[in-house]
Structure formats: structure tokens, C-alpha cells
Structure 1
């Protein structure tokens, strides 16, 4: 049947359509109050600190960590920026939020430490997302821009200090898995061959089948290097090529060693990569325009969409950060379960454009 996905790309598109429809329905099902969004964000912030913390404990105890930062890192960014946006609106209305802001900063610090210990790519996504989020909040509240040379240098210092601290910790504890330098050396060793593989074998509609791990069994399109979570594919019993068990290491050639634009181009072709970029830019532009619409409505005295406004602010910051890191630094940030998160954030941004009465 035509509606049953025939390959990974079609499955991604169909899941995306369903998620967009569901998000539009949910956001218009009931009004989202500012207090409710803030409460949910605080609860989720506590939850992310717990699961990221448990993941770090599992890492140090060698229990086998779950790597929650890949799928949940952008959502943690969403709830953090949404919380800060809500506090900014409340403060602008004359509400004292000093205590709550301090609590949010504590949650931010916890996520930074726990998430940074797990993945260096998360630390990049997190710091970039915070920078984007603070910028969006300042523009939404018509405040003086926070993007100053001093603050940019401050964020850069935090990033360098974080990476330096991880390297020092890895040597003290003799845990190479924590070492950023080891990761960089690994990327230097394997990224160049992966890039050569991609550039040499990518076509408009896929890739040279013989360059894929599957060899003669490959169709030259959607070989599973880019996919939704394996559990979702197995749940529906879809007969797609998947990298499972020890084969996951074979997927790293594309999944881990190249930026997303190369990974998507290799598995689905340059044409699909082009439309992916157009889609990302379109979602961001739509979100920014809607954010300015919400700001104008708030400044005109309407309090109907305050919850949506702060939710959109967080979703935009998270989506933009995930897109930049995933597309231009490491493909894994927008692959697998993280791809589901990526689609979720975009659907959240898209859904805010519906049901708004100006």
C-alpha cells in the first residue's frame, strides 16, 4: 500500500506529518497558560537533572550508560529557555521572580555539568542554545541585546574551561571516555576518510551502492545511515536495512564522523539534503515571525497566548541549536532518537502558527 513506508525517508516523512497533525491538535485543544507552562518546565527540568545525573553515575560505575543527552538534550534546552522566557514576562508584569530565577539557574548548572560529562557535543549544543535563547528573550522583551563581546567571550571561556576540566578529570580518573582530546583525535583519524567516501560516492538521489556497508544488497538509497529510532522501526515490523548490535559501529562512518549535511546527502542524495535545509530555514523563519506576532499581541494587552509565546521561544532556541550542531558539526545530533526530537521541536514551532486570532 502507498501509505506504508517503503524506505527510511518515507517513514521519516510520514512520522513527521503525523507528529505535526498531533501537535496542532494538542496546542489548540486547550489554552496554555503561562503558569502551567512554567510549572511543567520546572518539573521537566528537575527530571532531566535526575536522568542525566543517573546516566553520569552509570558512566562512572561502568553500568552502561543510556546516553540520554542525545534525544533529551534539546528538550532540556526547550524547557530551560521557556522557563526563563516565562520569568521575563512575569518580571515585566511586576511579579517578583528572584527566587524562581535562582532555582532555574541551579537546574541549568546541573544540566550543564551532567550533560557535559556525558557528551562534548551536548555541551556545544547546550551553550549555543542558551546563547540563542537569551538573545530571543531580549528581543522579545525589547531589552538591550545580551550579545556583547564580553558575554560572547564569557561563553567561550566557559566552553574552553568545560572541555579543559573534562580532559583533566579524564586523566585524574584514568577514564579516556571523558577525554575531549581523544574524541578530537578520533575525529581527525576517521572523519577525513568518511568525508572522502561521501564526496566521492554521493549522487543527486543517493549514493553508489557498492560504497555502502551492504554492498550488493544496497539500493543506493536510504541504507539506514539516517533513520528514526530502531525500536520504532522494529515495532512496525518495517523491512528496512538497519544497523543493529555490533553493526552500529559500521553506521558510525556516516552517523558520527561527518556533519549532518553530508550524512543526509549520502543516504538520501543531494536533492533531499537541499530540501532538508529549505525546511529548516522555513521553520526558523516561521517561528521568528510568529514570535514577533505574539510579542505585539502581548504589548497590546492580550494575555491569551503568553504560554504559547514562551513555549515557542524555547522551541526556537532548541531547534536552531540542534540544527546548527547537527547539520554542520555532528550528524548524530539529528539522527536516530535525536531525529525524533528534531521533528518534535519543528512541529511545536509549526503548530504555534495555527489557531491564533490576532
Structure 2
């Protein structure tokens, strides 16, 4: 790896290495449907347990929780949708999957409750992932999709109901950390000043030098508002500006209060933001293209790509969900440790493009 000179270069280098690794992995390991089903089930159960333990720690005095839903929320979407897609593919080849489907429903509820208790934004990510996954699977498996006003109302009702339950629990248990209204009030208080600061100081490739927290030491771009995990950066002893310890709250003016489009624009400029959006379009378009190839092969009787198809449905769903939430609602969903998951999901989608061309070539 060439020594990165700033956060952006380091992100690009890690993304390239992860992409190469996933391409090699996908071409070496024969991901059969049974293997994908087993691995996705294990991963979903593990994340359900992890989120549950973390949410329980919220109510235990003097014990800290880890907030695993931020970095691993999109991974949970990937695991659960892959599990559901695997069960549906079993049905497509006339293998009963009733018990697996029932287990998937139970795990869906467990993750929704545990993750929702930890972070309200996770509920939005989770239900959005369910909706996108349901839509993609419906198209892939020739199911009729009728988006009726009743279904839209039911979906919104489920999300609003979840928020209402959390607000009631916050009052009953005197736990303000559970309150969605408190979160919204904080956004209302701090978001507008943050947006004004970003818009005023953002340039084509970064921001006005001196406008970030580091003042005279501000680099004018790649100042650490958008970065990979601090532990990873410290492992390579890279001399980048880092928000750690008490300085984390200084990063929150962008990371916690704004959608990702503002964070990426401020740290990497409008050019960097456009490049990211362009890459997102490429990943999504490539994913749907390969998915059509897998579907066409399956419908003529080939079972060679069933496992890969389930993997792609899960990765594509999670990538789209994380993109929408991270870039347009909550920056932290695509920042820090969550960025590693974002890079991994992107690589898992694009790797199918290479493996498919090789297999069909």
C-alpha cells in the first residue's frame, strides 16, 4: 500500500484493496445456496444477539454500551435480506423453507426491537432495508408487487408506532436516551448552524482553509470529519488529523447533526461528493444488471448462481439502504467503522460483475 497522505487517499486505498480481496474471494469460493443460507443465518443470529446484549446494557447502571447498530446496522440488513432471499430461492427450486422463513421473521423482530432501542435512526434503516429487499425479491421471484395506499400507510404506521413506543418507554423508565423527540430537538437546535457553516465554507475540493475546528492547522480538506475508524488509522501510524477523546463532540457538528452529503462535501469538496454519488449510481446499476443475468440463468433451469444471487440481493439491498440513510439523513451511518461496511458492501456488489463476466464468458 502506498503511504496515504490524507484521509481521502487512505479511504480510496482501503476501498481498492477490499474490492480486490472480495473479487478474489468470490471467484475462489463456490458460494452454493446452502452455504450462503447457513452463513447468513449464523451472521443474522450473531448480530441479533449482539444488538440485544448492547440494548440490555442501556438499562444496567455503571455499564457502558457500545452502540453496535451504527457500524453493523447495514451488515444486519445484508445478513437478514440474504437469509430471506436464500429461503425464497429454496422455494423457487421446490424445496420447503417454511421453518427458515419463520425463523427469519423472528430474527427480524428481535433486531428491530434491539436496534431501535439503541438508535432511532436504525429503525429507519431497518424498515427501509426490508422494503427495498422485499421489492427486489418480488421482482426477482415473479411476485406481484402492489404498492397500495394501505401498504404505504401500514409501513409508515409501523415506523411511527416504533418511535411512539420508544418515547413512551423513555418517559416510563426515565431514560432520555430512548427519546426520539430529544434527538429531533437536538437536530433542530444544532443542524441549522451546521448547515450554514458547511454551505458557506465548502469549495470544489474541500473547504475554506481555517474554517474547520483545527483553525490555523486546518488543511482545507480531509480534516477528519469523514474518515475510516480511528483504530485503523492508528494501526498504520498515519499522521492524519483525528477527532478522538473529548474532541469527538467537535466532529459531531457534521457527523451527528447532518446528512452525509454535507459531510462529504465539506471534507472532500463538491467534486468529491459528485464522485461519490457517481460511484453509487455505478454500483447500483451494476448490481441490477448482474441480478438480471442471474435471474435469466435461473429461469432457464440453471442452479449454478443461486447462492451468488442471494448474496447479491442482500448486498445490493444493504448498499442502497445505507446510501439513502447515510447520505440523506444521518452522516454517521456511512462514517467511521460504518464506512468499512459501506466499502465492503460496495465491493460485494461490484465483485459479481467480474465473476459473472468470467463465468459467462
Q: Tell me, yes or no, if structure 1 residue 119 matches structure 2 residue 119.
A: yes
Aligned to 1:53: 52
Q: What pairs up with 1:85-164 in 2 under 5 angstroms?
A: 85-164=85-164
**Range 341-350 or range 144-153, more displaced:** 144-153
Q: Tell me, yes or no, if structure 1 residue 195 matches structure 2 residue 204.
A: no
Aligned to 1:6: 5
Report the Cα offset of residue 151 of structure 1. 2.0
Report how many aligned residue pairs link the two structures: 357
Aligned to 1:35: 34
TM-score, length-normalised on structure 2?
0.97
**Range 203-212 or range 155-164, more displaced:** 203-212
* C-alpha distance in structure 1 between counterparts of 2:83 and 2:153, whole Å: 25
Aligned to 1:212: 212
CA contact (8 A) 1:224 1:267 kept: yes
CA contact (8 A) 1:23 1:351 kept: yes
Aligned to 1:174: 174
Aligned to 2:354, what secondary structure does the other structure show?
coil
Q: What pairs up with 1:244-263 in 2 under 5 angstroms?
A: 244-263=244-263
Report the Cα offset of residue 86 of structure 1. 1.0
* C-alpha distance in structure 1 between counterparts of 2:200 and 2:232, whole Å: 32
Aligned to 1:223: 223
Q: Tell me, yes or no, if structure 1 residue 25 matches structure 2 residue 48.
A: no
* C-alpha distance in structure 1 between counterparts of 2:93 and 2:16, whole Å: 38
Report the Cα offset of residue 146 of structure 1. 5.0
**1:48-69 CA distance string (max 9 Å, x none):** 1111011011111141111100
**1:191-219 CA distance string (max 9 Å, x none):** 00000000001011111122210000111
Unpaired runs of 5+ in structure 2? none
- Across the aligned residues of Structure 1 and Structure 2, the Cα RMSD in angstroms comes to 1.0
Aligned to 2:210, what secondary structure does the other structure show?
helix
* C-alpha distance in structure 1 between counterparts of 2:245 and 2:355, whole Å: 45
* C-alpha distance in structure 1 between counterparts of 2:288 and 2:152, whole Å: 22
Report the Cα offset of residue 91 of structure 1. 1.0
CA contact (8 A) 1:135 1:147 kept: no
CA contact (8 A) 1:134 1:146 kept: no
CA contact (8 A) 2:210 2:219 kept: no
* C-alpha distance in structure 1 between counterparts of 2:196 and 2:227, whole Å: 22
Aligned to 1:355, what secondary structure does the other structure show?
helix
CA contact (8 A) 1:198 1:262 kept: yes
CA contact (8 A) 1:138 1:146 kept: no
CA contact (8 A) 2:194 2:254 kept: yes
* C-alpha distance in structure 1 between counterparts of 2:2 and 2:300, whole Å: 46
* C-alpha distance in structure 1 between counterparts of 2:231 and 2:176, whole Å: 30
Q: Tell me, yes or no, if structure 1 residue 273 matches structure 2 residue 273.
A: yes
* C-alpha distance in structure 2 between counterparts of 1:331 and 1:133, whole Å: 22
Aligned to 1:272, what secondary structure does the other structure show?
helix
Report the Cα offset of residue 150 of structure 1. 2.2
TM-score, length-normalised on structure 1?
0.98
Report the Cα offset of residue 337 of structure 1. 0.3
CA contact (8 A) 1:135 1:146 kept: no
* C-alpha distance in structure 2 between counterparts of 1:86 and 1:149, whole Å: 29
